[in-house]
Chain A
């Protein structure tokens, strides 16, 4: 299950960067992709993205699977565009459908955009530990505190959720085994039998979740946690010269993309 690229540990430059650097770079790159429309710019950007993927050793992971899931979408898009877009020179005619140049170009553009956006977000999540990511988000959202956004609490909620996802996965498996032993079949059966199975899984899971939540709240409270009190922070993020160099590079790429798009 690699929906957005699970964190895999390698010691590459991208892995070592500050999560805030990566978040900011992602935003800059996304803006660059969305603000440009020329094939030359896209070719330039896609090369950059692939270089980044290779440096971060992402190609060893299952990014290929992610691309595969794009193939079907791309084909659908192609069919729609061929039928709907009738501008530009006619390239060829199949039966009574004429295929125009713009239909092809449009599809290629959207497809390249998707590949780049997916690759970039994978790049972020595959090179940053979930905890660091939530810490980076917390720090970057700090200014929002002025408008009473509970930034620290949100970050704590994210990190506790991350902590309990595997716990609930184990719990669900245990419940399924226990219910199977009581005669509930989770795999076969008609729709209403399947529904029974789902209820038999969800009800105990919710009961256990509420128990866990109460216990956890108690444990946090007796250890002195309170949302109204100030707290210090154990984890501090430090940007070093690598981060600044990297950001400069990203900015340079951004400017180059804009120059290619608008000045040439």
Chain B
């Protein structure tokens, strides 16, 4: 659905995105991982047309992203940013969701119903009149998600949307993402290597370059490279690695149950 072709971009003279090409599949759950400063957020900004690439091309559903079709792109793709406070625009929950509808010129008499529908989708229907000061970080991110969903239906980018939340808030948002997965392209920019296990497709970024790309099976089959990139392995893989060191005969798998079974059988 989203295709990068030899994209270069930099904020100053130096490039922070260096000749990047990849293809994000439609209606799949794609994770983009990489260390701080590797250019993940910049990629998200390029997709959304908030920055223009220096060279190369970006396609969304076959449409090339440029200044003349930003409206079309933003109707297809929405983004939830990292900081819950900095994306809450209005002074109450309902007004924040309404902000997107106002921009899309939705007739006033239809708004109430739509707002209620989307607030219900993210479980915030009881908070419509609340102002952001009285909401938790997780609740603010849920409102942000509703405000994005109401305007852009096909794909959602989460740019470390849970990294500033407490475990409970994280759980809530991840739950919502699972519910949204059907018939929607999800792009999750993340630090959480555990999340990769649930992904359909993974892109690993290092210093503005795509260093690995593929299904989680492909990515995790090259443990050496992951270690070389200093990426923390998911818990299952750490267990497998330790088990192998102790001469247990386990295969690379991503299902903890299988590992447990093998280990139990061998002792």
In the assembly, what is the distance between CA of A232 and CA of B94, in Å? 15
Residue A216 at the chain B interface, CB threshold 8 Å: yes
Considering only CB atoms, which chain B residue lies closest to A167 in the complex? B85
- CB atoms of B91 and A162 under 8 A apart: yes
Tally of chain A residues near chain B (CB < 8 A): 29
CB distance from B47 to the nearest CB of A (A): 10
Number of interface residues of B (CB under 8 A): 40
Q: List 13 A-B contacts (CB under 8 A).
A: A159-B90, A166-B133, A211-B86, A212-B83, A216-B86, A220-B89, A222-B148, A224-B103, A231-B102, A231-B103, A232-B106, A233-B102, A234-B102
| Chain A binding surface, main DSSP class | helix
CB within 8 Å of A: which residues of B? 45, 48, 50, 71, 74-75, 78-79, 81, 83, 85-92, 94-95, 98-108, 111, 115, 131-133, 144, 147-148, 151
Contact A160 B105 (CB under 8 A): no
Interface residues of A (CB under 8 A from B): 130-131, 159-160, 162-163, 166-167, 211-212, 215-216, 218-226, 229-236
> Which residue of chain B has the shortest Cβ distance to A163 in the bound complex?
B91
Other than A215-B86, A229-B103, A235-B98, give 15 A-B pairs with Cβ distance below 8 A: A163-B91, A215-B83, A218-B50, A219-B86, A219-B87, A219-B89, A222-B48, A222-B78, A224-B100, A224-B103, A231-B103, A232-B105, A232-B106, A234-B102, A234-B115
Instruction: Give min CB distance, A212 to chain B, whole Å.
Output: 5
Contact A225 B103 (CB under 8 A): yes
A159 and B91 in contact (CB under 8 A), knowing A211-B86, A234-B111?
A: yes
Q: How far is the CA of A175 from the CA of B107 in the complex (A)?
A: 43
**A215-B148 Cα distance, complex, nearest whole Å:** 15
For the complex of A and B, the 3 pairs showing the least CB-CB separation, nearest first, are: A224-B103, A234-B98, A215-B86
